[in-house]
Amino acid sequence: MKTKTDTMHTASTTKTLTTLGFHHITLVSGSAPRTLAFYRDLLGLAVVKDNGKSNDPNAYRLYLGDDAGTPGTLITFVERPAAARGRYGVGGVHHLALGVGTYAAQLKWKRFLTDRGVTVSGPMPRGYFTSLYFRDPDGQVLEIATAGPGYAYDEPIEALGQKVMLPRDQQLPGGRDEALIQMTTHYEPVPAITPDMKLAGIHHVTGMTDDIERASDFYEEALGLSVVKKSVNQDDPETPHWFWANYDGTRVLPHSSWTLFGWTSRHSHARAGVGQTNHVAFRAADVEELKAWQEHLRSMDLDVSAVIDGPPFASINFRAPDGQLLELATDNVEF
Task: Tell me the number of residues near Fe ion by CB under 5 A.
Answer: 6
With CB under 5 A as the contact rule, the residue among 136, 143, 217, 220 that binds Fe ion is: 143
Query: Which segment (61-69, 216-224, 280-288, 304-312) binds Fe ion by CB under 5 A?
Result: 280-288
Binding to Fe ion by residue 281, rule CB under 5 A? Answer: yes
Q: What are phi and psi of 282, to 5 degrees?
A: -110, 165
Task: State which residue, 7 or 101, has the beta carbon closest to Fe ion.
Answer: 101
Task: State which residue, 107 or 314, has the beta carbon closest to Fe ion.
Answer: 314
Binding to Fe ion by residue 327, rule CB under 5 A? Answer: yes
Query: Which segment (180-188, 191-199, 235-243, 320-328) binds Fe ion by CB under 5 A?
Result: 320-328
- Smallest gap from Cβ 206 to Fe ion, in A, equals 5
DSSP of 149-180? S-GGGSS-GGGTTSSB-PPPGGGSTTTS-HHH
Query: Which segment (22-30, 168-176, 191-199, 304-312) binds Fe ion by CB under 5 A?
Result: 22-30
Query: Which segment (97-105, 190-198, 233-241, 303-311) binds Fe ion by CB under 5 A?
Result: 97-105
Task: State which residue, 6 or 160, has the beta carbon closest to Fe ion.
Answer: 160
Nearby residues of 180 by Cβ (< 8 Å), 6 or more positions away: none
With CB under 5 A as the contact rule, the residue among 97, 190, 197, 205 that binds Fe ion is: 97
Phi-psi region of 269 (alpha: psi -120 to 50; beta: other; left: phi over 0): beta
Binding to Fe ion by residue 141, rule CB under 5 A? Answer: no
**What part of residues 156-215 is at the interface with Fe ion (CB under 5 A)?**
206
Task: State which residue, 12 or 119, has the beta carbon closest to Fe ion.
Answer: 119
Task: State which residue, 218 or 282, has the beta carbon closest to Fe ion.
Answer: 282
- Smallest gap from Cβ 192 to Fe ion, in A, equals 26
Q: Residue 100: helix, strand or coil by DSSP?
A: strand
Question: Contact, 327 vs 280, CB < 8 A?
Answer: yes
As to burial, measured by CB atoms within 10 angstroms (0-12 exposed, 13-18 middle, 19+ buried), residue 63 is: buried
- Smallest gap from Cβ 26 to Fe ion, in A, equals 5
In 3D space, the residue among 327, 165, 158, 167 whose CA is nearest the CA of residue 252 turns out to be: 158
* CA distance linking residue 88 with residue 91, whole number of Å: 8
4-13 and 212-223 are packed helices; what angle lies between their axes, rounded to 10 degrees? 30
In 3D space, the residue among 155, 150, 144, 160 whose CA is nearest the CA of residue 97 turns out to be: 144
Site string for Fe ion, 67-96 (x = CB under 5 A): ------------------------------
Task: State which residue, 27 or 105, has the beta carbon closest to Fe ion.
Answer: 27
* CA distance linking residue 317 with residue 307, whole number of Å: 8
- Smallest gap from Cβ 3 to Fe ion, in A, equals 30
Nearby residues of 306 by Cβ (< 8 Å), 6 or more positions away: 316
Question: Contact, 63 vs 48, CB < 8 A?
Answer: yes
DSSP 8-state secondary structure symbol assigned to residue 271: B
Q: Residue 188: helix, strand or coil by DSSP?
A: coil
Task: State which residue, 108 or 229, has the beta carbon closest to Fe ion.
Answer: 229
Strand partners, 328: 282, 316
- Smallest gap from Cβ 129 to Fe ion, in A, equals 8
Q: Residue 298: helix, strand or coil by DSSP?
A: helix
Task: State which residue, 10 or 273, has the beta carbon closest to Fe ion.
Answer: 273
Task: State which residue, 11 or 200, has the beta carbon closest to Fe ion.
Answer: 200
Binding site for Fe ion (CB under 5 A): 26, 97, 143, 206, 281, 327
